[in-house]
Homo-oligomer: A and B are copies of this chain.
Amino acid sequence: MTPTVVRIDRSSPQPRLLDATGPLISIEDEGYTRGDGAFETMLALDLTVRKLDLHLLRLAQSSRLLHLPRYDDADWQAAIELALSAAPAGTPSELGAEHTVKLLLSRGTPAEGPYGLVVVSAVPESTIAQRRDGVRAMLLPRGHDPAEDTAYPWLLAGAKTLSYAVNMAVLRHVRSLGAQDAIFTASDRRILEGATSSVIVARRDGDALTLLTPEPSHGILPGTTQGAIFEGARADGWELGFGPLYPADLLESDGVWLSSSVRLLAPVARLNNQALPVDRGLTDRLLGYLMSR
């Protein structure tokens, strides 16, 4: 199914619906030739984008690090509205009609410069299924510790850029081994993040519930979904913990999830060769925090 695409330019802020059945991008576009741009991927339920504010904030942060222009939130909103109104029906689920809404900011061509795109498509059934069925994940060394890069803005730590080849290579690697997702570890075996997600761990001790995630601001991209769930959990009386976490913390937990904006919460049913507890009640409770936001 061809996605629905709307373009915004700073010179003419009126959003324009494009025909995506043919090619849209120039061979000289530096988003293409250099991965030089930023993106956000969001979920729309019944044509309403979830956590739009958090995504626009992170996109603004990426723009700043990349020295790309920042568009007004109202311009993005108008473009999103146009794209959703023109898109074919979303994938039906118990949460509503589901669309993926991607915001993309490219440096464009040397002649024409940067522009923004909104790209809307139906959420794949397989993505929705992983929320229920969970995923098999593997621990995978990240090589260097990403915290080593955070002091230098030119290394773009904290920007969500179009230069995503490593994340894709990691997913190909674990799939070739029969798993579906990867959790990065630092050289001291510390848990970092998923290939395209954050890691959330639940621990139950009598009536006390603790929700854990690796320490933020250490070169890990701050997860908007993880953040929203933690906000709700805190209000509901959970203890919150922010790493460091090690493989044993996941293997001995009462639940591990990969959180991301479209898949939402995918329980990790298997980590390397070990089965992990998948607690439907806990998943629904965490999902509730996200949905009531």
A residues 27-80 in Cβ contact with B at 8 Å: 27-37, 39, 65-67
- Interface on A for B, CB 8 Å cutoff? 3, 5, 20, 22-37, 39, 65-67, 104, 107, 117, 119, 140-146, 148-157, 159, 161-170, 172-173, 187
Query: Is A165 a contact partner of B23 (Cβ separation < 8 A)?
Result: no
A144 contacts which of B5, B144, B170 (Cβ < 8 Å)? B144
Chain B residue nearest to A33 in the complex (CB): B162
Apart from A34-B35, A34-B162, A159-B165: 6 A-B pairs, beta carbons within 8 A = A23-B26, A24-B27, A27-B119, A140-B152, A141-B151, A144-B146
Among all A-B residue pairs, the 10 with the closest Cβ atoms: A35-B35, A144-B144, A163-B163, A143-B149, A25-B25, A163-B165, A144-B148, A154-B173, A34-B164, A35-B163
Query: Is B144 a contact partner of A30 (Cβ separation < 8 A)?
Result: no
The contact sample of 12 A-B pairs, CB cut-off 8 A, is A20-B26, A22-B23, A24-B27, A33-B39, A33-B162, A143-B157, A144-B149, A148-B187, A154-B170, A154-B173, A162-B163, A163-B165
Docked pose: A162 CA to B140 CA in angstroms? 23
Cβ of A5: which chain B residues have Cβ within 8 Å of it?
27
Query: Is B141 a contact partner of A152 (Cβ separation < 8 A)?
Result: yes
Cβ of A37: which chain B residues have Cβ within 8 Å of it?
165
Cβ of A34: which chain B residues have Cβ within 8 Å of it?
35, 162, 164-165, 167-168
Docked pose: A120 CA to B176 CA in angstroms? 36
Docked pose: A104 CA to B145 CA in angstroms? 30
Docked pose: A167 CA to B197 CA in angstroms? 25
Query: Is B104 a contact partner of A33 (Cβ separation < 8 A)?
Result: yes
